Amino acid sequence: MIFVAGAPLCTDSSSSCSQGHDILTDLMKHPVLVSASSSFNDVSERKFSVCKDSSPGISRHNRWVYIFQREYATVDPALVDVVGTDEATTCVGIVIRNQNSGMTSVAHLDSPDVVDIGLAQMLAFVVNQSSDVMLDVHLIGGFDDASPEHVNGSTECQRKLEGYSFPLCKKIVDSLAKSNMKFQIHTLHVLGHNTRRDSEGIAYPIFTGFLAETATGSIIPANFDATTRCPDEVVRRIRVTASFEDPSWKGRLLETYDTQTDQFVIAPCTWGMHKMHIAFMLQNLTDQEILLTCSTSPSAEAPDFVDNQRRQWGYLIQHPDWRETFPFKKPRIFQRTEDKSWVRLQAKSSSSSYPYAD
């Protein structure tokens, strides 16, 4: 069930507002959410980096968790100060926070296919089954990427007509509305609310990332750099594409962080030799060809998009067998250090539960 400003959005489940499209339309027009989105636009985006000086960013006094595409993490405010994500163009970042406990879950949703199971994964540690608590929700990401041209015929053409952002946003609000949980939406910075256009009318997202402060629940637009997109950046990026071919991940968000131990536990994912052959082929493409081939929004990607893709392919070429990365299909474990960075746990012997591999 969805609430805005303390009031349910719709109480008549038999009316037209029970449909995802109409719910999304109503939410996008809701004066409280329109005002909140306008205010969010006025907030300066923070550039985040692990730094020792006093410049804006995540210092070593902050304990943070970063989420990549198709990942989620639920964090305890007693253990984590900041949780966030970025690089979301047609993707949507969602925050669900328990008002009573402060438990906060963040996910980077990239497809309607992962919404239902993904929400269940997020809620597992946010609220007890018997709890009737109101959950704060923020949605940031996605923009008006739909094609303005009329196209007839195939499903592929229809997808281009709708774009990627709209079906995803529609599915999210529909699932929230159908749930027995109470979701209070505070931020809906998606689609038209998150779109700017250049002089030629080309659409771009205003913000592609954010952070959530677990103590206060505050949401701030943010951009992260390589020092904070960790740990295990390249492997986690590879898991995104590899998971599409791994049936064990069908419909699920990628598990990446252990809420109770405050450790990154990078759950394993498999890939075959054909990934290496594809990597060889893609490495030979020009930067522009990579954007057109690998991105859902080529004109909206960050400057480091192509480099990030090439680093993944380089890793796959060096490690074509997934067992080199996940021996015995065990997770890769990272522990927080005294300076708040992350270090890989190494096995003391071959019989260790989590064998180490370079």
Domain locations along the chain: 16-229
Residue 238 contacts residue 271 (beta carbons within 8 Å) = yes
Q: Band of the pLDDT at 1, cuts 50, 70, 90?
A: very high
Q: Are strands 64-67 and 82-85 parallel, antiparallel or unpaired?
A: parallel
How deeply is 107 buried, as exposed, middle or buried, from its count of CB atoms within 10 A (0-12, 13-18, 19+)?
buried
> Per-residue pLDDT for 253 more than 50?
yes
How do residues 178-234 score in pLDDT, each as one tens digit? Answer: 999 999 999 999 999 999 999 988 999 999 999 999 999 999 999 999 889 999 999
Q: Are strands 263-266 and 210-213 parallel, antiparallel or unpaired?
A: unpaired
* % pLDDT > 70, the chain: 85
Average pLDDT on 92-116 reads 97
Quote the CA–CA distance of 302 and 181 in Å, as a whole number. Answer: 36
pLDDT of residue 272: 87
Q: Return the ∠ at Cα 240 (arms to 222 and 249), rounded to 5°.
A: 125
Domain 16-229 has CATH 3.30.300.30: no
* % pLDDT > 90, the chain: 74
Q: Band of the pLDDT at 357, cuts 50, 70, 90?
A: very low
pLDDT of residue 340: 84
For 117, phi and psi rounded to 5 degrees? -70, -35
Based on C-alpha coordinates, what's the Rg of the chain? 20
Quote the CA–CA distance of 297 and 166 in Å, as a whole number. Answer: 13
Q: Return the ∠ at Cα 262 (arms to 341 and 347), rounded to 5°.
A: 75
